[in-house]
A and B are shown apart, each in its own frame.
Chain A
Protein backbone atom coordinates (compact mmCIF):
# COMPACT_ATOMS: atom_id res chain seq x y z
CA UNK A 1 0.00 0.00 0.00
CA UNK A 2 1.51 3.31 -1.03
CA UNK A 3 0.92 6.61 0.63
CA UNK A 4 -1.44 7.97 -2.02
CA UNK A 5 -2.79 4.93 -3.87
CA UNK A 6 -4.33 1.87 -2.31
CA UNK A 7 -3.59 -1.19 -4.44
CA UNK A 8 -6.57 -3.44 -5.05
CA UNK A 9 -5.53 -6.97 -4.20
CA UNK A 10 -6.65 -9.99 -2.21
CA UNK A 11 -5.38 -8.68 1.10
CA UNK A 12 -7.16 -5.43 0.61
CA UNK A 13 -10.47 -7.17 0.07
CA UNK A 14 -10.00 -9.11 3.28
CA UNK A 15 -9.12 -5.94 5.11
CA UNK A 16 -12.19 -4.24 3.71
CA UNK A 17 -14.30 -7.12 4.90
CA UNK A 18 -13.61 -6.29 8.49
CA UNK A 19 -10.69 -3.92 8.97
CA UNK A 20 -10.92 -4.09 12.75
CA UNK A 21 -9.82 -7.69 12.57
CA UNK A 22 -6.34 -6.71 11.46
CA UNK A 23 -4.68 -5.48 14.61
CA UNK A 24 -1.83 -3.89 12.64
CA UNK A 25 -4.09 -1.18 11.23
CA UNK A 26 -4.45 2.10 12.99
CA UNK A 27 -7.56 4.28 12.83
CA UNK A 28 -6.23 6.43 10.01
CA UNK A 29 -5.62 3.38 7.80
CA UNK A 30 -9.10 2.05 8.52
CA UNK A 31 -10.61 5.38 7.42
CA UNK A 32 -8.53 5.34 4.22
CA UNK A 33 -9.63 1.80 3.45
CA UNK A 34 -13.27 2.71 3.86
CA UNK A 35 -12.81 5.78 1.63
CA UNK A 36 -11.23 3.58 -1.06
CA UNK A 37 -14.16 1.19 -0.93
CA UNK A 38 -16.58 4.02 -1.71
CA UNK A 39 -14.85 4.70 -5.05
CA UNK A 40 -13.74 1.26 -6.23
CA UNK A 41 -16.40 -0.97 -7.90
CA UNK A 42 -14.21 -4.13 -8.19
CA UNK A 43 -13.47 -3.99 -4.46
CA UNK A 44 -17.14 -3.36 -3.76
CA UNK A 45 -18.07 -6.44 -5.78
CA UNK A 46 -15.43 -8.60 -4.09
CA UNK A 47 -16.56 -7.43 -0.69
CA UNK A 48 -20.18 -8.17 -1.55
CA UNK A 49 -19.22 -11.73 -2.57
CA UNK A 50 -17.29 -12.28 0.66
CA UNK A 51 -20.20 -11.06 2.73
CA UNK A 52 -22.62 -13.32 0.84
CA UNK A 53 -20.32 -16.30 1.30
CA UNK A 54 -20.08 -15.60 5.01
CA UNK A 55 -23.84 -15.43 5.30
CA UNK A 56 -24.35 -18.69 3.39
CA UNK A 57 -21.70 -20.51 5.39
CA UNK A 58 -23.03 -19.35 8.74
CA UNK A 59 -26.61 -20.29 7.78
CA UNK A 60 -25.64 -23.80 6.70
CA UNK A 61 -23.33 -24.28 9.63
CA UNK A 62 -25.81 -23.01 12.21
CA UNK A 63 -28.46 -25.33 10.83
CA UNK A 64 -26.18 -28.33 11.23
CA UNK A 65 -24.97 -27.36 14.70
CA UNK A 66 -28.44 -26.52 16.04
CA UNK A 67 -29.48 -30.16 15.72
CA UNK A 68 -26.87 -31.22 18.26
CA UNK A 69 -27.58 -31.17 21.97
CA UNK A 70 -24.70 -30.28 24.24
CA UNK A 71 -26.64 -30.97 27.43
CA UNK A 72 -24.80 -34.10 28.49
CA UNK A 73 -21.26 -32.88 28.02
CA UNK A 74 -21.00 -31.25 31.42
CA UNK A 75 -22.17 -34.32 33.35
CA UNK A 76 -20.01 -36.71 31.37
CA UNK A 77 -16.89 -34.62 31.81
CA UNK A 78 -17.51 -34.08 35.52
CA UNK A 79 -18.07 -37.82 36.06
CA UNK A 80 -14.71 -38.57 34.48
CA UNK A 81 -12.96 -35.83 36.41
CA UNK A 82 -14.42 -37.08 39.69
CA UNK A 83 -13.49 -40.65 38.84
CA UNK A 84 -9.88 -39.59 38.19
CA UNK A 85 -9.59 -38.13 41.66
CA UNK A 86 -10.50 -41.46 43.31
CA UNK A 87 -7.72 -43.85 44.50
CA UNK A 88 -7.16 -46.76 42.10
CA UNK A 89 -8.89 -49.34 44.30
CA UNK A 90 -12.07 -47.30 44.34
CA UNK A 91 -12.13 -47.11 40.57
CA UNK A 92 -12.44 -50.89 40.23
CA UNK A 93 -16.25 -50.95 40.56
CA UNK A 94 -16.42 -48.62 37.55
CA UNK A 95 -14.55 -51.21 35.52
CA UNK A 96 -17.14 -53.84 36.42
CA UNK A 97 -20.12 -52.07 34.92
CA UNK A 98 -22.17 -54.43 32.71
CA UNK A 99 -21.31 -52.59 29.52
CA UNK A 100 -17.58 -52.67 30.14
CA UNK A 101 -17.53 -56.31 31.18
CA UNK A 102 -19.67 -57.54 28.30
CA UNK A 103 -16.88 -58.17 25.84
CA UNK A 104 -14.34 -59.69 28.28
CA UNK A 105 -17.03 -61.87 29.87
CA UNK A 106 -18.15 -63.15 26.47
CA UNK A 107 -14.57 -63.90 25.50
CA UNK A 108 -13.91 -65.84 28.71
CA UNK A 109 -17.15 -67.81 28.35
CA UNK A 110 -16.30 -68.73 24.76
CA UNK A 111 -12.86 -69.87 25.81
CA UNK A 112 -14.27 -72.05 28.56
CA UNK A 113 -16.69 -73.68 26.13
CA UNK A 114 -13.85 -74.44 23.75
CA UNK A 115 -11.71 -75.89 26.54
CA UNK A 116 -14.48 -78.09 27.86
CA UNK A 117 -15.59 -79.40 24.50
CA UNK A 118 -12.34 -79.74 22.64
CA UNK A 119 -9.44 -79.91 25.05
CA UNK A 120 -7.85 -83.42 24.91
CA UNK A 121 -8.31 -85.36 28.12
CA UNK A 122 -11.17 -83.30 29.35
CA UNK A 123 -13.52 -86.24 28.85
CA UNK A 124 -13.83 -89.09 31.32
CA UNK A 125 -11.50 -92.02 30.78
CA UNK A 126 -14.17 -94.44 31.87
CA UNK A 127 -16.26 -94.54 28.74
CA UNK A 128 -17.80 -97.94 29.37
CA UNK A 129 -16.69 -101.65 29.50
CA UNK A 130 -13.23 -102.13 28.06
CA UNK A 131 -12.38 -104.63 25.37
CA UNK A 132 -9.35 -106.89 25.75
CA UNK A 133 -7.13 -106.36 22.77
CA UNK A 134 -4.25 -108.57 23.67
CA UNK A 135 -2.85 -110.76 26.42
CA UNK A 136 0.68 -111.76 27.04
CA UNK A 137 1.22 -114.23 29.89
CA UNK A 138 4.36 -115.76 31.34
CA UNK A 139 5.55 -117.63 34.40
CA UNK A 140 6.19 -114.56 36.49
CA UNK A 141 4.07 -111.82 34.98
CA UNK A 142 1.33 -111.04 32.53
CA UNK A 143 0.36 -108.06 30.44
CA UNK A 144 -3.12 -107.28 29.29
CA UNK A 145 -3.90 -104.59 26.76
CA UNK A 146 -7.38 -103.12 26.79
CA UNK A 147 -9.02 -100.49 24.64
CA UNK A 148 -11.93 -98.41 25.82
CA UNK A 149 -14.75 -98.47 23.28
CA UNK A 150 -15.77 -94.80 23.17
CA UNK A 151 -12.64 -92.87 23.87
CA UNK A 152 -10.23 -95.41 22.38
CA UNK A 153 -7.79 -95.12 25.26
CA UNK A 154 -5.23 -97.89 25.56
CA UNK A 155 -4.79 -99.44 29.00
CA UNK A 156 -1.81 -101.62 29.67
CA UNK A 157 -2.27 -103.82 32.73
CA UNK A 158 0.90 -105.43 34.06
CA UNK A 159 0.74 -108.01 36.82
CA UNK A 160 3.47 -109.87 38.58
CA UNK A 161 2.45 -113.36 39.56
Chain B
Protein backbone atom coordinates (compact mmCIF):
# COMPACT_ATOMS: atom_id res chain seq x y z
CA UNK B 1 0.00 0.00 0.00
CA UNK B 2 1.44 3.39 -0.95
CA UNK B 3 2.06 5.97 1.75
CA UNK B 4 -0.76 8.18 0.53
CA UNK B 5 -3.33 5.38 0.51
CA UNK B 6 -2.10 4.11 3.88
CA UNK B 7 -2.41 7.57 5.36
CA UNK B 8 -5.95 7.99 4.03
CA UNK B 9 -6.90 4.57 5.41
CA UNK B 10 -5.54 5.45 8.84
CA UNK B 11 -7.33 8.80 8.82
CA UNK B 12 -10.57 7.11 7.93
CA UNK B 13 -10.11 4.45 10.60
CA UNK B 14 -9.39 7.13 13.16
CA UNK B 15 -12.47 9.11 12.09
CA UNK B 16 -14.72 6.05 12.34
CA UNK B 17 -13.37 5.31 15.81
CA UNK B 18 -14.11 8.87 16.94
CA UNK B 19 -17.56 8.76 15.39
CA UNK B 20 -18.32 5.61 17.33
CA UNK B 21 -17.33 7.42 20.50
CA UNK B 22 -19.86 10.09 19.61
CA UNK B 23 -17.39 12.95 19.38
CA UNK B 24 -19.07 16.09 18.06
CA UNK B 25 -15.92 17.30 16.35
CA UNK B 26 -15.71 14.04 14.41
CA UNK B 27 -19.25 14.48 13.12
CA UNK B 28 -18.47 18.02 12.03
CA UNK B 29 -15.41 16.77 10.13
CA UNK B 30 -17.51 14.06 8.50
CA UNK B 31 -20.16 16.54 7.38
CA UNK B 32 -17.70 19.07 6.02
CA UNK B 33 -15.72 16.39 4.20
CA UNK B 34 -18.61 14.66 2.51
CA UNK B 35 -21.55 17.05 2.18
CA UNK B 36 -20.51 18.28 -1.28
CA UNK B 37 -19.97 14.81 -2.69
CA UNK B 38 -23.16 13.41 -1.28
CA UNK B 39 -25.18 16.38 -2.48
CA UNK B 40 -23.83 15.89 -6.01
CA UNK B 41 -24.83 12.23 -5.99
CA UNK B 42 -28.28 12.95 -4.59
CA UNK B 43 -28.83 15.77 -7.05
CA UNK B 44 -27.64 13.65 -9.97
CA UNK B 45 -30.29 11.06 -9.14
CA UNK B 46 -33.17 13.27 -8.01
CA UNK B 47 -32.44 16.50 -9.96
CA UNK B 48 -34.21 18.33 -7.10
CA UNK B 49 -32.17 20.72 -4.99
CA UNK B 50 -34.36 20.90 -1.90
CA UNK B 51 -34.86 17.17 -1.73
CA UNK B 52 -31.15 16.58 -2.22
CA UNK B 53 -30.37 18.82 0.77
CA UNK B 54 -32.87 16.86 2.87
CA UNK B 55 -31.39 13.59 1.68
CA UNK B 56 -27.88 14.65 2.64
CA UNK B 57 -29.07 15.60 6.14
CA UNK B 58 -30.86 12.30 6.42
CA UNK B 59 -27.71 10.42 5.42
CA UNK B 60 -25.67 12.00 8.20
CA UNK B 61 -28.40 11.28 10.73
CA UNK B 62 -28.47 7.66 9.61
CA UNK B 63 -24.70 7.50 10.06
CA UNK B 64 -25.14 8.78 13.62
CA UNK B 65 -27.82 6.17 14.24
CA UNK B 66 -25.95 3.22 12.77
CA UNK B 67 -22.25 3.98 13.20
CA UNK B 68 -21.98 1.48 16.05
CA UNK B 69 -22.96 -1.29 13.60
CA UNK B 70 -20.43 -0.23 10.97
CA UNK B 71 -17.90 -3.03 10.75
CA UNK B 72 -15.60 -1.50 8.14
CA UNK B 73 -16.03 -4.30 5.58
CA UNK B 74 -16.31 -1.57 2.99
CA UNK B 75 -14.79 1.89 3.26
CA UNK B 76 -16.57 4.76 4.99
CA UNK B 77 -17.06 6.64 1.71
CA UNK B 78 -18.53 3.53 0.05
CA UNK B 79 -20.98 3.23 2.93
CA UNK B 80 -21.93 6.89 2.68
CA UNK B 81 -22.37 6.63 -1.09
CA UNK B 82 -24.55 3.56 -0.65
CA UNK B 83 -26.84 5.23 1.88
CA UNK B 84 -27.09 8.32 -0.32
CA UNK B 85 -27.93 6.31 -3.43
CA UNK B 86 -30.59 4.30 -1.55
CA UNK B 87 -32.17 7.39 -0.04
CA UNK B 88 -32.20 9.12 -3.43
CA UNK B 89 -33.69 6.13 -5.22
CA UNK B 90 -36.35 5.76 -2.50
CA UNK B 91 -37.30 9.37 -3.09
CA UNK B 92 -37.47 8.75 -6.81
CA UNK B 93 -39.74 5.79 -6.38
CA UNK B 94 -42.41 7.71 -4.49
CA UNK B 95 -44.93 8.29 -7.24
CA UNK B 96 -46.00 11.77 -6.21
CA UNK B 97 -42.42 13.02 -6.31
CA UNK B 98 -41.86 11.34 -9.63
CA UNK B 99 -44.96 13.02 -11.00
CA UNK B 100 -43.81 16.40 -9.73
CA UNK B 101 -40.38 15.87 -11.25
CA UNK B 102 -41.69 14.92 -14.65
CA UNK B 103 -44.31 17.60 -14.91
CA UNK B 104 -42.53 20.60 -13.46
CA UNK B 105 -39.40 21.20 -15.43
CA UNK B 106 -37.32 24.35 -15.11
CA UNK B 107 -39.71 27.23 -15.77
CA UNK B 108 -39.17 30.42 -17.60
CA UNK B 109 -40.55 33.65 -16.28
CA UNK B 110 -42.80 35.87 -18.38
CA UNK B 111 -39.85 37.55 -20.06
CA UNK B 112 -38.56 34.22 -21.35
CA UNK B 113 -35.54 34.25 -19.02
CA UNK B 114 -34.57 31.57 -16.53
CA UNK B 115 -34.61 32.98 -13.02
CA UNK B 116 -31.71 32.48 -10.61
CA UNK B 117 -29.24 31.58 -13.30
CA UNK B 118 -25.77 33.05 -13.33
CA UNK B 119 -25.10 36.58 -12.31
CA UNK B 120 -25.56 39.99 -13.87
CA UNK B 121 -22.22 39.74 -15.63
CA UNK B 122 -23.33 36.88 -17.86
CA UNK B 123 -24.96 37.85 -21.13
CA UNK B 124 -28.54 36.71 -21.85
CA UNK B 125 -27.42 34.31 -24.56
CA UNK B 126 -25.13 32.44 -22.14
CA UNK B 127 -27.84 32.31 -19.51
CA UNK B 128 -30.34 30.99 -22.03
CA UNK B 129 -27.88 28.37 -23.24
CA UNK B 130 -27.18 27.22 -19.68
CA UNK B 131 -30.87 26.93 -18.97
CA UNK B 132 -31.49 24.92 -22.12
CA UNK B 133 -28.61 22.62 -21.24
CA UNK B 134 -29.99 22.04 -17.75
CA UNK B 135 -33.37 21.14 -19.16
CA UNK B 136 -31.80 18.80 -21.71
CA UNK B 137 -29.75 17.20 -18.93
CA UNK B 138 -32.81 16.71 -16.72
CA UNK B 139 -34.77 15.18 -19.58
CA UNK B 140 -31.85 13.00 -20.63
CA UNK B 141 -31.29 11.66 -17.12
CA UNK B 142 -35.02 11.17 -16.69
CA UNK B 143 -35.09 8.83 -19.67
CA UNK B 144 -32.48 6.54 -18.17
CA UNK B 145 -33.30 3.63 -15.89
CA UNK B 146 -32.50 4.07 -12.19
CA UNK B 147 -29.41 1.91 -12.40
CA UNK B 148 -28.10 3.54 -15.57
CA UNK B 149 -28.60 7.03 -14.16
CA UNK B 150 -26.95 6.16 -10.87
CA UNK B 151 -24.02 4.42 -12.57
CA UNK B 152 -23.47 7.37 -14.86
CA UNK B 153 -23.59 9.90 -12.02
CA UNK B 154 -21.23 7.90 -9.82
CA UNK B 155 -18.81 7.52 -12.71
CA UNK B 156 -18.91 11.06 -14.10
CA UNK B 157 -19.34 13.08 -10.93
CA UNK B 158 -17.48 11.00 -8.37
CA UNK B 159 -15.03 9.25 -10.69
CA UNK B 160 -15.63 5.87 -9.06
CA UNK B 161 -14.17 2.78 -10.71
CA UNK B 162 -16.30 -0.11 -11.98
CA UNK B 163 -15.51 -2.11 -8.85
CA UNK B 164 -16.43 0.75 -6.54
CA UNK B 165 -19.69 1.41 -8.37
CA UNK B 166 -20.55 -2.30 -8.29
CA UNK B 167 -19.93 -2.33 -4.53
CA UNK B 168 -22.08 0.74 -3.88
CA UNK B 169 -24.98 -0.57 -5.93
CA UNK B 170 -24.50 -4.20 -4.98
CA UNK B 171 -24.55 -5.31 -8.62
CA UNK B 172 -22.11 -7.20 -10.84
CA UNK B 173 -19.32 -5.36 -12.61
CA UNK B 174 -20.72 -6.49 -15.95
CA UNK B 175 -23.98 -4.72 -15.10
CA UNK B 176 -22.07 -1.53 -14.34
CA UNK B 177 -20.28 -1.66 -17.70
CA UNK B 178 -23.41 -2.33 -19.73
CA UNK B 179 -25.48 0.31 -17.91
CA UNK B 180 -22.72 2.87 -18.36
CA UNK B 181 -22.56 2.15 -22.08
CA UNK B 182 -26.36 2.47 -22.43
CA UNK B 183 -26.40 5.68 -20.42
CA UNK B 184 -23.73 7.23 -22.63
CA UNK B 185 -25.49 6.20 -25.84
CA UNK B 186 -28.82 7.71 -24.74
CA UNK B 187 -27.29 10.88 -23.37
CA UNK B 188 -25.20 11.38 -26.51
CA UNK B 189 -28.42 11.29 -28.54
CA UNK B 190 -30.23 13.65 -26.19
CA UNK B 191 -27.34 16.07 -25.86
CA UNK B 192 -26.02 15.69 -29.40
CA UNK B 193 -26.23 19.41 -30.14
CA UNK B 194 -24.00 20.23 -27.15
CA UNK B 195 -21.72 17.23 -27.63
CA UNK B 196 -21.08 18.17 -31.27
CA UNK B 197 -20.38 21.77 -30.29
CA UNK B 198 -17.85 20.63 -27.69
CA UNK B 199 -16.20 18.20 -30.11
CA UNK B 200 -15.72 20.94 -32.69
CA UNK B 201 -14.02 23.31 -30.26
CA UNK B 202 -10.22 22.98 -30.23
Contact = CB atoms under 8 A, between A and B. Distances in A.
Chains A and B come from one and the same complex? yes
Contact of B32 (A10, A74, A76): A74
A56 B64 contact: no
Given A49-B199, A61-B137, A73-B56, A81 B180 contact: no
A53 B191 contact: yes
B195 A78 contact: no
Given A63-B134, A81-B27, A70 B36 contact: yes
Interface string A74-115: 101110111011000000000000000000000000000000
A56 B180 contact: no
* Interface class of chain A by DSSP: helix
Interface residues of A, number: 36
B134 A60 contact: yes
B156 A76 contact: no
A61 B191 contact: no
Contacts of A64: 43, 49, 134, 137
Contacts of A11: 177, 181
B27 A60 contact: no
* Interface class of chain B by DSSP: helix
B92 interface: no
B30 to A, nearest CB: 9
Contact of A78 (B24, B43, B133, B155): B24
A124 interface: no
B198 A68 contact: no
Nearest to A58: B156
Contacts of B8: none
B35 A74 contact: yes
B82 interface: no
B15 interface: no
A78 B28 contact: yes
Interface string B138-176: 000000000000000001110101110000000000000
Contacts of A85: 22
A56 B191 contact: yes
Contacts of A74: 28, 31-32, 35
A55 B188 CA distance: 12
Contacts of B89: none
A77 B134 contact: no
Contacts of B64: 81, 84
A50 interface: yes
Contact of A52 (B39, B136, B199): B199
A57 B162 contact: no
Contacts of A54: 156
A56 B24 contact: no
The 10 closest A-B pairs by CB, nearest first: A52-B198, A60-B133, A60-B137, A10-B181, A56-B194, A21-B161, A52-B199, A52-B195, A77-B60, A74-B31
11 contacts: A49-B195, A52-B195, A53-B188, A56-B133, A56-B191, A60-B137, A67-B49, A68-B49, A70-B35, A77-B31, A78-B28
